[in-house]
Amino acid sequence: MDNKDKITYPELEIHAQLFEPNTFELKILKEHENIQFCEIKTNFLSSGRQSRVSILEYESKKQNHRVIWKRMGAGKGLTRGEAAEAKANLIPYQKSLKAHGWQLPQLYYLKEVPTGNEYQIFSYEELVGQGDGEKIIIDPDEPNFKKWFIVRSVAEQMAKYFTPDLQKTSIMGKELTLLPHGLDLKPANVVTTDDRGLFFVDLFGPKLLEPGGKWKFYSPKLDSLSEETLLAVCGTREGALLRFMRLTERLWGQAGNHEKEEIRNGMMDLIKNLDLPEKEKGFICSELDNNYAWLDKVYEETRV
């Protein structure tokens, strides 16, 4: 891998330490619940940049059950007010995603809690699937057809947004299609299941948008990108798809069982066959053909 292809973007940073519950978190968990939980150690969940994530197992009616336990905003130094504002946007964000066709895990409970020198949002969520998209894509023992299924499922879901309802916006000289909300669309944030299809599994931070493309909730503690850059790569259909495809391409390259040219050509064919406006497909394909030149420019503007 030469310098040009090194993975330097923040979306791919690994923070394995974020999985381990700290003393405050475990104490609060015991205060919230009067039943015994056992933390399940696993390697099928990717690390997050904004949350600590664990799988908890408990017994009920002589059966074992598992649940995802997230500590949203862990290590971000959120104040009580900031945590409360983020929490207030989570349910509306969830509703917006569902209204536009995304499947989400069941969200059982949310609460903002003090954990020493910061506030976090605890959430308890349904565990779906047996591994997120990133874990599958980087695994050389997983077949390529399963990886292509992830890419195709995401692209087809993005094409389901009803185009006549979507506004246009201009970012860095390109007219783009503005989504009704933002998406941190990367392989680690999607899960495919054999019987229920594709799930989007990351609600934090909540990326609701006002008409015209202004973020309803934005915090530099949670996002290192500027508001405009975040809009480009998370709040537009073209930008979100391109970011997802480049991250997938680079992760797939780590697995070493598929050539970069094959991956990119396959992605281009997939885009050409989507039910999208020709202008959108043309821009995305030109970016693939030009090694994501516009995407590089977007990131360079904020020196990320």
Residues 168-217 have pLDDT tens digits of: 999 989 999 999 999 999 999 999 998 999 999 999 999 999 988 999 99
pLDDT of res. 19: 58
Question: 141 and 290 in one domain?
Answer: yes
Question: 235 and 104 in one domain?
Answer: no
Question: 275 and 170 in one domain?
Answer: yes
pLDDT of res. 47: 65
Kindly report the pTM of this predicted structure: 0.88
Question: 141 and 104 in one domain?
Answer: no
Range in 48-57, 76-85, 262-271, 283-292 the model is least confident about: 48-57
Give the C-alpha separation, 50 to 224, whole Å: 11
Q: Model confidence at 301, in pLDDT bands (50, 70, 90)?
A: low
Closest CA to 245 of 130, 158, 168, 170: 158
Question: 147 and 41 in one domain?
Answer: no
Give the C-alpha separation, 68 to 8, whole Å: 29
Tell me the one-letter amino acid at 112.
E
- Count: domains in the chain: 2
Question: 219 and 184 in one domain?
Answer: yes
Residue 292 has pLDDT above 70, yes or no: yes
Residue 5 has pLDDT above 50, yes or no: no
Residues 6+ positions from 291 with CB-CB distance below 8 Å:
none
Q: Model confidence at 34, in pLDDT bands (50, 70, 90)?
A: confident
**Structural domain span for residue 42:** 3-126
Question: 98 and 48 in one domain?
Answer: yes
> Of the residues 72, 93, 126, which one is the last residue of a structural domain?
126
Question: 122 and 141 in one domain?
Answer: no
pLDDT tens digit sequence for 97-122: 999 999 999 999 999 999 889 999 99
Report, as an integer, the average pLDDT of 217-239: 95
Question: 115 and 157 in one domain?
Answer: no
Question: 189 and 285 in one domain?
Answer: yes
Our CA angle for 206, 158, 255, nearest 5°, is: 90
- Evaluate the omega torsion of the peptide bond into residue 101 and state whether it is cis, within 30 degrees of 0: no
pLDDT of res. 1: 36
Complete DSSP assignment for the chain: --GGG---SGGG---GGGGS--HHHHHHHHHH-SS--EEEP-SSS---SSEEEEEEEEEETTEEEEEEEEEETTTS---HHHHHHHHHHHHHHHHHHHHTT-----EEEEEEEE-SSSEEEEEEEE--SSS-HHHHHT-TTS-HHHHHHHHHHHHHHHHTS-GGG--EEEETTEEEEBPSB----SGGGEEEETTTEEEE----S--BB-TTS-BSS--TTT-SS-HHHHHHHHSBHHHHHHHHHHHHHHHHHHHTSS-HHHHHHHHHHHHHTSSS-HHHHHHHHHHHHTTSHHHHHHHHHTT-
pLDDT tens digit sequence for 231-246: 999 999 999 999 999 9
